[in-house]
């Protein structure tokens, strides 16, 4: 005669569910933290690779930055999407794309310009900026450049900005980064904090380093160029230039 297995009592079921809930509460923050950390590292690694392209471009152009007339914040490098099937491909009208690390050509180019945490640039209702799109989908890259390095200078035609003219330390001069740096600096009210901490993001500096830093809003009165690590937002040029 087969014996019947005792069923769970209601008390045992409640205890089991409670224990599972406690474990979930313990593990869930750790899982979220691990995901945020992984996305931050991937974002940082992609910016380092693009930083190699910046360095290669400057070496090939005697230290001069490209001059970009249309959307310089985004069109320094990146991808376009096919109107036929939506496939991403490198846009060689963007100056840095010819200087990307060669081994990346074997990988989906979209991956190089994507921050995995990219949630777009929006207002609190999700309507401003990129709306429902990510920055990558809207601009072909998740990373916003420092336009002061790329915009035409003055009313008359002038040579592109020369790296030798910049007196700000390379370790303090931002070349590009997660767009939160611009949104916070200019107090736009748009949201672009992708890594779980307000007003922080990965930034690529002119010395090739990528650091996760906190950005401060621009002072109401003061110089006009961005240095995230100091309230002295200095971007002086050498005299005589």
pLDDT in tens, the chain (241 residues): 555 555 557 665 666 666 666 665 665 554 556 676 888 999 999 999 999 999 999 999 999 999 998 999 999 999 999 888 888 889 999 999 999 876 555 568 889 999 999 999 988 777 778 888 999 999 999 999 999 899 876 666 677 889 988 888 898 899 999 999 999 988 888 889 899 888 999 999 999 999 999 988 877 655 444 444 443 333 433 444 3
Q: Identify which of 170, 217, 222, 177 has the alpha carbon closest to the alpha carbon of residue 195.
A: 177
* Phi, psi values for residue 171, rounded to 5°: -75, -5
Residues 6+ apart with CB under 8 A from 136: 79, 110, 113, 114, 115, 118, 142
């Amino acid at each position: 005669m087969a014996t019947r297995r005792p069923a769970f009592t209601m008390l045992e079921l409640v205890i089991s569910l409670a224990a599972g809930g406690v474990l979930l509460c313990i593990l869930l923050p750790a899982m979220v933290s691990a995901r945020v950390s992984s996305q931050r590292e991937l974002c940082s690694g992609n910016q380092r690779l693009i930083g190699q392209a910046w360095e290669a471009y400057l070496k090939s152009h005697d230290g001069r930055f490209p001059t970009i007339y249309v959307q310089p914040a985004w069109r320094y490098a990146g991808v376009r999407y096919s109107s036929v099937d939506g496939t991403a491909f490198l846009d060689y009208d963007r100056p840095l794309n010819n200087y990307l690390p060669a081994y990346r050509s074997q990988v989906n180019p979209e991956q190089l310009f994507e921050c995995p945490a990219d949630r777009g640039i929006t207002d609190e209702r999700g309507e401003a900026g990129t709306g429902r799109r990510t920055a990558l989908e809207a601009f072909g890259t998740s990373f916003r450049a420092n336009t002061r390095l790329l915009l035409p200078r003055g009313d008359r035609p002038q040579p592109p900005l020369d790296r030798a003219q910049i007196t700000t330390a390379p370790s303090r001069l931002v070349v590009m980064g997660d767009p939160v740096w611009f949104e916070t600096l200019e107090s736009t009210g748009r949201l672009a904090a992708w890594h779980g901490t307000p007003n922080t993001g990965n930034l690529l500096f002119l010395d090739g380093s990528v650091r996760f830093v906190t950005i401060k809003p621009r002072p109401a009165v003061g110089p006009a160029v961005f240095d995230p690590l100091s309230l002295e937002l200095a971007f002086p040029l050498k005299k005589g230039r």
